[in-house]
Structure 1
Amino acid sequence: MGEMRQTRFDVSGMDCASCASKIDTAVRRLPGVADVAVSVTTQTMTVHHDETTDLPALARKVSGLGYKTVPANRTPVKAAPQASACCGGNAPNDHDHESHGQGDHGHKHHGHDPDPANAATAPPSGLHGHDHGPMSGPWWASDKGRLTLLCGGALVAAYAVGHLFPPLASNAFLIALLVGLVPIGRRAIMAALAGTPFSIEMLMTIAAIGAVIIDAGEEAAAVVFLFLVGELLEGVAASRARRSIQALSDLVPKTAFLDDNGVTREVPADSLVPGNIIRIRPGDRVPADGDIISGESAIDEAPVTGESVPVRKTANDPVFAGTVNGEGVLRVTVTAAAADNTIARVVRLVEEAQEAKAPTERFIDRFSRYYTPGVVVVAALVAILPPLLAEGSWSEWVYKGLAILLIGCPCALVISTPAAIAASLSAGARRGLLVKGGAVLEKLGTVDTVAFDKTGTLTEGRPVVTDILAFTVAESDILRLSAALDAGSSHPLALAILARAEADSIVYPAAEGSAALGGKGVTGTVGPQKLFLGSPHAAAEIAALSAEQWSAIQALNDDGKTVSVLVIDGQVAGAIAMRDEPRKDARQALAALRAAGIRTVMLTGDNRRVAEAVGRDLGIDVRAELMPEDKQTIVRELKVQGATVAKVGDGINDAPALAAADIGIAIGGGTDVALETADAAILHGRIADVAALINLSKRCMANIRQNIAVALGLKAVFLVTTIVGITGLWPAILADTGATVLVTINALRLLRVRA
Structure 2
Amino acid sequence: MAATNQARYKVGGMDCASCATKIDTAVRRMAGVEDVSVSVASGTMTVTHDGSSDFSAIEKRVAGLGYSLRALGRKTAAAEFPISPARGEKGHSHGHHHHGAHDHSHHDHAEIEGLHGHDHGPTDGPWWKSPKGRLTILTGLALVAAYGIGHLIPAYDTYIFTAAMLIGLLPIARRAFMAALAGTPFSIEMLMTIAAVGAVIIDASEEAAAVVFLFLVGELLEGVAARKARRSIQSLTALVPKNALLEVNGQTREVPAETLSVGSVILVRPGDRISADGVIIAGESSIDEAPVTGESTPVAKGAGDNVFAGTINGDAALRVRVTAAAEDNTIARVVRLVEEAQEKKAPTERFIDRFSRYYTPGVVVVAALVAILPPLAAGTDWGEWVYKGLAILLIGCPCALVISTPAAIAASLSSGARRGLLMKGGAVLENLGRITAVALDKTGTLTSGRPEVTDVIAFGRNAEDVLRLAAALETGSSHPLAAAILAKAAEDEVEIPAASDARALGGKGVTAVVDGQEVFLGSPKAAAERVPLPMAHSRRIAALNDEGNTVSVLVVGGVPAGAIAMRDEPRADARAGLKALADAGVKTVMLTGDNARTASAIGAELGIEVRAELMPQDKQRIVGELKREGFVVGKVGDGINDAPALAAADVGIAMGGGTDVALETADAAVLHGRVGDIAGMIALSKRTMRNIYQNIAIALGLKAVFLVTTIIGITGLWPAILADTGATVLVTINALRLLRVRV
Same fold (TM over 0.5): yes
CA contact (8 A) 1:292 1:331 kept: yes
CA contact (8 A) 1:59 1:70 kept: no
Distance 1:661 1:108 in 2: 30
Distance 1:2 1:484 in 2: 62
**1:27 corresponds to:** 27
Among 270, 273, 291, the residue aligned to 2:258: 270
* Partner SS state of residue 195, structure 2: helix
**1:39 corresponds to:** 39
Moved more, 641-650 or 555-564: 641-650
Distance 1:118 1:64 in 2: 20
Moved more, 160-169 or 369-378: 160-169
Query: C-alpha displacement at 1:29, in angstroms?
Result: 2.6
**1:122 corresponds to:** 112
Moved more, 3-12 or 528-537: 3-12
**1:346 corresponds to:** 334
Structure 1 residues 629-681: Cα deviation after superposition (integer angstroms, max 9, x where no partner): 22222222222222211111111222111111111111111335521111111
Aligned 1:147-158 pairs, distance under 5 A: 147-158=135-146
* 2:720 is the alignment partner of 1:748: no
Aligned 1:508-547 pairs, distance under 5 A: 508-547=496-535
Query: C-alpha displacement at 1:698, in angstroms?
Result: 1.0
Mark the runs of 5 or more structure 1 residues left unpaired by the alignment: 83-94
Inter-CA distance 608–438: structure 2 relative to 1 (3 Å threshold) = same
Inter-CA distance 553–672: structure 2 relative to 1 (3 Å threshold) = farther
CA contact (8 A) 1:512 1:524 kept: yes
Structure 2 letter corresponding to 1:13: G
Distance 2:52 2:663 in 1: 34
Structure 2 letter corresponding to 1:537: K
CA contact (8 A) 1:74 1:117 kept: no
**1:695 corresponds to:** 683
Structure 1 residues 219-257: Cα deviation after superposition (integer angstroms, max 9, x where no partner): 110110111111110011011001101111111011111
Query: C-alpha displacement at 1:209, in angstroms?
Result: 0.6
**1:583 corresponds to:** 571
**2:453 corresponds to:** 465
Structure 1 letter corresponding to 2:327: A
Inter-CA distance 514–110: structure 2 relative to 1 (3 Å threshold) = closer
Inter-CA distance 78–578: structure 2 relative to 1 (3 Å threshold) = closer
Distance 1:473 1:225 in 2: 89
Query: C-alpha displacement at 1:166, in angstroms?
Result: 2.0
CA contact (8 A) 2:74 2:104 kept: yes
**1:77 corresponds to:** 77
Distance 2:102 2:436 in 1: 43
Query: C-alpha displacement at 1:539, in angstroms?
Result: 1.3
* 2:375 is the alignment partner of 1:387: yes
Inter-CA distance 674–104: structure 2 relative to 1 (3 Å threshold) = farther
* Partner SS state of residue 185, structure 1: helix
Query: C-alpha displacement at 1:2, in angstroms?
Result: 8.0
**1:184 corresponds to:** 172
**2:393 corresponds to:** 405
**1:706 corresponds to:** 694
Inter-CA distance 711–236: structure 2 relative to 1 (3 Å threshold) = same
**2:182 corresponds to:** 194
Aligned 1:232-243 pairs, distance under 5 A: 232-243=220-231
Query: C-alpha displacement at 1:447, in angstroms?
Result: 1.1
Query: C-alpha displacement at 1:54, in angstroms?
Result: 4.5
Among 151, 161, 168, the residue aligned to 1:163: 151
Among 475, 478, 481, the residue aligned to 1:493: 481
Structure 1 letter corresponding to 2:96: G
Query: C-alpha displacement at 1:72, in angstroms?
Result: 3.4
Structure 1 residues 292-320: Cα deviation after superposition (integer angstroms, max 9, x where no partner): 22222221100001000111222222211
Distance 1:31 1:359 in 2: 32
Moved more, 69-78 or 283-292: 69-78
Distance 2:673 2:333 in 1: 17
Inter-CA distance 691–225: structure 2 relative to 1 (3 Å threshold) = same
Mark the runs of 5 or more structure 2 residues left unpaired by the alignment: none
Structure 1 residues 88-127: Cα deviation after superposition (integer angstroms, max 9, x where no partner): xxxxxxx865379x9996224799875545369537714x
**2:307 corresponds to:** 319
**2:96 corresponds to:** 106
* Partner SS state of residue 250, structure 1: helix
Among 565, 569, 574, the residue aligned to 2:562: 574
Structure 2 letter corresponding to 1:44: T
**2:274 corresponds to:** 286
* 2:351 is the alignment partner of 1:368: no
Query: C-alpha displacement at 1:187, in angstroms?
Result: 0.5
Structure 2 letter corresponding to 1:688: G
Distance 1:534 1:448 in 2: 44
Query: C-alpha displacement at 1:73, in angstroms?
Result: 3.7
Using the size of structure 2 for normalisation, the TM-score is: 0.96
* Partner SS state of residue 15, structure 1: coil
Q: How many residues align?
A: 740
CA contact (8 A) 1:60 1:123 kept: no
**2:585 corresponds to:** 597
Among 411, 420, 423, the residue aligned to 1:435: 423
Percent identity of equivalent pairs: 70
* 2:353 is the alignment partner of 1:334: no
Aligned 1:183-262 pairs, distance under 5 A: 183-262=171-250
CA contact (8 A) 1:56 1:119 kept: no
Distance 1:382 1:72 in 2: 48
Using the size of structure 1 for normalisation, the TM-score is: 0.94
CA contact (8 A) 1:5 1:78 kept: no
Structure 2 letter corresponding to 1:43: G
Query: C-alpha displacement at 1:206, in angstroms?
Result: 0.6
CA contact (8 A) 1:714 1:735 kept: yes
Inter-CA distance 696–32: structure 2 relative to 1 (3 Å threshold) = farther
Distance 1:260 1:440 in 2: 45
Aligned 1:725-736 pairs, distance under 5 A: 725-736=713-724
* Partner SS state of residue 144, structure 2: helix
* 2:128 is the alignment partner of 1:145: no
Inter-CA distance 374–2: structure 2 relative to 1 (3 Å threshold) = farther
Among 670, 674, 686, the residue aligned to 2:674: 686
Moved more, 144-153 or 589-598: 589-598
RMSD: 2.3
